[in-house]
Copies of this chain bind each other. A is one copy, B any other.
Amino acid sequence: MGTTGTQPRLKNLELAAVGGSDVHVKMLAAPVNPSDINMIQGNYGLLPKLPAVGGNEGVGQVVAVGSSVTRVKPGDWVIPANAGLGTWQTEAVFSEEALISVPSDIPLQSAATLGVNPCTAYRMLMDFEQLRPGDSVIQNASNSGVGQAVIQIAAALGLRTINVVRDRPDIQKLTDRLKNLGAHHVVTEEELRKHEMKNFFKDVPQPQLALNCVGGKSSTELLRHLAPGGTMVTYGGMAKQPVIASVSLLIFKDLKLRGFWLSQWKKDHSPDQFKELILTLCDLIHQGQLTAPACSEVPLQDYQRALEASMQPFVSSKQILTM
């Protein structure tokens, strides 16, 4: 599927010849992530030259390889090494360096959603604060793809998560589902603002790390509950409002505000380090500690339905295009 301007449409493209360092890939499945939508709308830190093929994540199977390709072979599963590959297409020819192979014995939905959200979740849990088993982490947008990965990876690391979600009619169902994933606590944005939260933190250690995908008031509340010296990492801005931080918390509680962008992390690290990260996450998948978020599979030709569904408020399942 090609995107021109803000109106994506399906288009037949000529398949390029497979050069010496190229890999012919048949795409299997590719999710619709919030950052894909941001990119189409032009609100992203990395924008492709138009026209471009949408989709930054997904899994494909190698059909054929050029003569100098050494790291993948026909039959292998591959995912994009970087954002901007254009995964919403049935097949394509990519250069070898644009791909990373993944084990093909993990679930298809896990492979299709492995390269962005779980990587973001893992790095944010590891790279900002030195957390030890029993420490707690607070996050908002806990039902997002990253949020669900944070819950599961944190649980695997022995960390206690405090998961903030927006109130909704079926809140108990959502709470149960997140607790099933390993969430220790699920609180609504409204509950987080109440005085009663003081009692909550009598029993639960104040979090040293907050993960913010919302901004605005929600991020101000996360900061209010951070332990002295703690860090809030912002990786999204769903509320389309800036982060608002109390001056006195910055000065007297020594709070730190940072941002995380996986594309920047990849620029700052080697492909081998990214591959290592992917394999660490595959280990968690093999051990049953990391599952794909709830997904709705939609055939590529129904992309319009998938895009619309992904932009609805309170979406509880990720749209995955299948080819």
A interface residue numbers (CB < 8 A to B)? 43, 45, 215, 220, 234-237, 241-261, 264
Known: A243-B245, A243-B247, A245-B243. A264 touches B257 (CB 8 A): no
Least CB separation from A245: chain B residue: B243
Query: How many Å lie between the Cα of A254 and that of B220 in the bound state?
Result: 19
A248–B252 touching, CB < 8 Å: no
B237–A247 touching, CB < 8 Å: yes
Q: How far is the CB of A127 from chain B (nearest CB, A)?
A: 12
A250–B243 touching, CB < 8 Å: yes
A234–B247 touching, CB < 8 Å: yes
Supply 5 A–B pairs (Cβ within 8 Å), ascending by A.
A243-B245, A245-B257, A250-B259, A252-B264, A256-B256
B256–A247 touching, CB < 8 Å: no
Query: How many Å lie between the Cα of A261 and that of B235 in the bound state?
Result: 27
B254–A257 touching, CB < 8 Å: no
Q: How far is the CB of A241 from chain B (nearest CB, A)?
A: 8
Known: A244-B243, A244-B244. A251 touches B261 (CB 8 A): yes
Known: A244-B244, A255-B259, A256-B256. A250 touches B234 (CB 8 A): yes
Choose one: B249, B253, B257; the contact of A256 (CB below 8 Å). Answer: B257
List residues of chain B with CB within 8 A of the CB of A245: 242-245, 257
List residues of chain B with CB within 8 A of the CB of A255: 259
Query: How many Å lie between the Cα of A312 and that of B43 in the bound state?
Result: 44
Choose one: B236, B247, B252; the contact of A247 (CB below 8 Å). Answer: B236
Q: How far is the CB of A243 from chain B (nearest CB, A)?
A: 5
